[in-house]
Structure 1
Amino acid sequence: MTGPIDSDSLARAPKVLLHDHLDGGLRPATVAEIAAEIGHTLPVPDVAELGEWFRRSADSGSLERYLETFVHTVAVMQRHEDLVRVAREAAIDLAADGVVYAEIRYAPEQHLEGGLSLDEVVAAVQQGLAEGEKEAASAGTPIRTGQLVTAMRHAARSREIAELAERHRDNGVVGFDIAGAEAGFPPSRHLDAFGYLHEANLHVTIHAGEAFGLPSIWEAVQVCGTDRLGHGVRIMDDIEVIGGKDEYGRPAAKLGRLAGWVRDKRIPLELCPTSNVQTGAASSIAEHPIGLLKDLRFRVTVNTDNRLMSGTSMTQEMTGLVQQGGWTLEDLRWVTINALKSAFIPFDERLALIEGVVKPGYARLGAG
């Protein structure tokens, strides 16, 4: 399909999501209901206004106001039953959006104020995801989910969180992540954790190349041995666009040594277009580097990051790329298969989803 893509096709297209934060994807009504139960004061009382407050705050250009949004979502994710509910609703909402596989990340160390242990947090999230998977299957929208257990890069618990991930790898955890402010907190501060994870043969993704540039990406790739790059949009700092086309019809560009390595090694980029625009990593969806990186055949994937704060979904991310970036259904199929190739579940499970779900799904829409 090379012509216009209608909204129904975009909604029905199978989707794969590798970068989605559990504490960034709550339903506004859930935030309001739990906050009322626990006595947490929200910035606005009305549910409809609350959702808009989250979006305005994330889009305000103020880092302080952006971070404040997570104060409220994390506050309502401290009890066992609340973690179960939030995780269950995440799986259901993603499945209803056409997502067939999702890796959902969160930092267990941020959910201990209600007296839960780290292991109890992971178990509660897994219970919710399993319940959500079951409900989604009953609704005719099956989804497979996995947890990415995240350590905060400004804290000193990364080895502990790595061991937590290993303990739960047979109970829903598919990998490990570090997140938080990049500047001043390089991933190399956590080499003990990464060494442990590599010895345990556990998959790793690292937030790098979002707010900070090439040094963050280089350390994540060459020092810490990451399997994927969370965002990685600043790899563009190592690419010089010459103009015109090369002999393969792709944009003519000169890749620096790091960009060339990332492309050659097929290191996946977990790009989040709407979020990247909000944080200033890109000026607009139309100008987002994802289009050029796709054309240069980096292993590009499309993600939501924080669905509540960005007011987005996978369908909306794809719609923006089609309407503002000129993407085709074949482009969307390609990045979806990229994402499954890059997923942290076993190869046979990835292949089954590619061959049994994604390819047939896009074929029904006229692609592939």
Structure 2
Amino acid sequence: MISKIKSLIKPPVRDSFQGKTDLESRDEKNFFRMALGIILGTLLVLFFSFMITFFVSVRGAEQTLVPNVTGEYLIDGLINLQEKELYPRIQVRYTEDPLEKDHIISQDPKAGSVVRAGKRIKLTISKGAVVDKVGSYTGLNLSDVKTQLQTLFASYKPLMVIKEPVVFVFDDATAGTILEQEPIADTPLTGLTELIFVVSRGPVGKKYNIDDFTELRWMDAVNRLVRSNQPFVFTLSEDEPGNNSVVLKQVPASGKTVMAGTRINLTISTPKKLARDEGFGMIELTLPDYPVSVDLTVERTETAGRAETIMEMKHPGGRFSMPYREKIGTEITVKIYDEVVKKITVE
């Protein structure tokens, strides 16, 4: 009995190396295991969190369907893109239809394409037509307005055209001046619009006495006629050659009273001699009868490429003929408002 009691009260055995009892040693081991488990668990949680984040980032944004915004008003199209988490990249340009202003006229990628959310969609926005309203043309010259419209719509479909035939009336304003227009200035353009003009013919024709051109060299006669914008027609007389090719006859005769713009017919002699490298002849053509005199120009271009204006004048149209004496190979060109209507090469 006493031996049992002694065994119960026997002091615990101490670790010879650590100087600790068995109970203390077990507690420390359990604590160490628990701490190690917590650390390993934390590391595992961090590892799995990192892997999940990595794969989500690699996977990227969700895919979405590109909506059809072509033809929509800009604001409406932007809202539709925003709902799909898409963003615009905008560029603008003029179009032929003024009603397309501020509307989306094209998109890239096309509607129905599958893209990632956050992608930028290229949108082309219309700035409308080059002009969106009728200009003020009253008081301007008809030829200038035609040139202006041609330049304005050189790269785009025309939105304004001048209705033909133009109405011409006698007026104190300079010939060719636009007196009235329809539609009026600032009328909005919604499509192709015809411009109706009333244009001045100039004052009622004045009368004057015909000069005497006989015995003048033909080029001197041309210069005098051009200065007064008097239309003329030259013809050759084969029967009476002369050294300098002078005017032999004129109709109407000198001193006769005629209306301004009356055509003068001049008959000239054929030159007797020409240099070996010269050619002589007549450039002839029939022009339309213009309601207002147009700018007529005659130019020559030498074989070396040098160009020179021989004459320029206002011409009412109809028959036109003029002599030439130039070096062989020279090109002679007749133009109306810089448009070539006749070209010959001297032979």
Shorter chain as denominator, the TM-score bin is: under 0.3
Larger Rg: 2
TM-score by structure 2 length?
0.20
**Larger proportion of strand:** 2
Q: Which has the higher contact order (CA 8 A, sep 6+)?
A: 1
